[in-house]
Amino acid sequence: MKVLSVVGARPQFIKAHPLHLALKERAYHVILHTGQHYDREMSRIFFEEMGIPEPDYNLEVGSGGHGEQTGRMLIGIEKVLLKERPNVVIVYGDTNSTLAGALASVKLHIPVAHVEAGLRSFDRRMPEEINRVVADHISNILFAPTHTAVHNLKKEGIVQGVYLVGDIMVDALYLHIKVAEKNSIIRDLGLKKKGYVLVTVHRAGNTDVEENLKNIVEALTELDYKIVFPAHPRTKKALERYGLLKTLEESKNVMITEPVGYLEFLNLLENSRMVLTDSGGVQKEAYILGIPCVTLRDTTEWIETVEQGWNVLVGAEKEKIISAVRSFRPTEKRTEIFGDGKSAERMANIILSLKEAGG
């Protein structure tokens, strides 16, 4: 059986890794990288240290408008699919690569499996939300990470081909955390364990809205905590554009750094006292690692983390951010809402069962 994974950025490689390990002895697994995001951490050391397989194809589409980027992906993915003729195509998450991979496959009548199906922020202003919804409605196999995701799909009339498998990021986290703990990022930055607050900001709703980014920056500089802020290149450009980068650089408590690799970030997250983020993935990783999370958004795909008392939504409101950092201290016991770290094995078994059924 031939299975093809479409990935477009570093997080998707990380999600694909556990599934690749579960498939590689039982199927021929082809990996197609659209090149949606150029990432300096996608170097040979990334693959060697983590054991992640390098892609068989790289379309190198680069950046561009949503329509332009997705269109270039569709052309490239279709050519690879016609050449490889896989039995199943796997797409991950909610990027333009996810959408393009699903669309190209379904038009060629190739079954599509969507990993992280059923996630909803219910905010159609987010391009990720559009990508999720469309991918779910054209996929044949929907791998839902949580009961909430299954419920979301049911509300939209999707009940066939839905499987509650747990979250593959739990698998990935367990797979990589021990390696992450060996890197020297904490020492290199002169940090003390549990002696700092970690910050990530990259969503367009914050970086492209001057008032929101200004509120976040002002909140960070007024806090009485050491702040570590690895700045995404697009975020750094926005900070410069709005005249806010100098404010951070001159503050006494904020350490703004270059972007860090996945392993370094895991180490920073695990040893932080709290994380402030607008990333869906970081919210989930924080919950799994037992790190209090303050989310710089009004909505979240991972509502379970809020319901469990380990995540609080504050948007980009300065006073709410400051108040949450000073007072938010989760006390509820965490449960395995995202699964037991064996979701990749479950997915592989379901995908391979298609062959037995003649799929």
Query: Which residues does the annotation mark as catalytic?
Result: 202
Provide the b/e sequence for 247-281 (b: ≥16 CB within 10 Å). bbeebeebbbeebbbbbbbbbbbbbbbbbbbbbbb
For every residue of 62-80, DSSP letters joined together read: -S--HHHHHHHHHHHHHHH
Helix (H, G, I), strand (E, B) or coil at 297: coil
Q: How far apart are CA 295 and CA 154, in angstroms?
A: 27
> Which of 80, 86, 82, 89 is CA-nearest to residue 61?
80
CA distance 46 to 54: 10
Whose tokens are 């809205």? That residue is 209
Q: Are 343 and 167 in contact (CB under 8 A)?
A: yes
d(CA 62, CA 8): 10
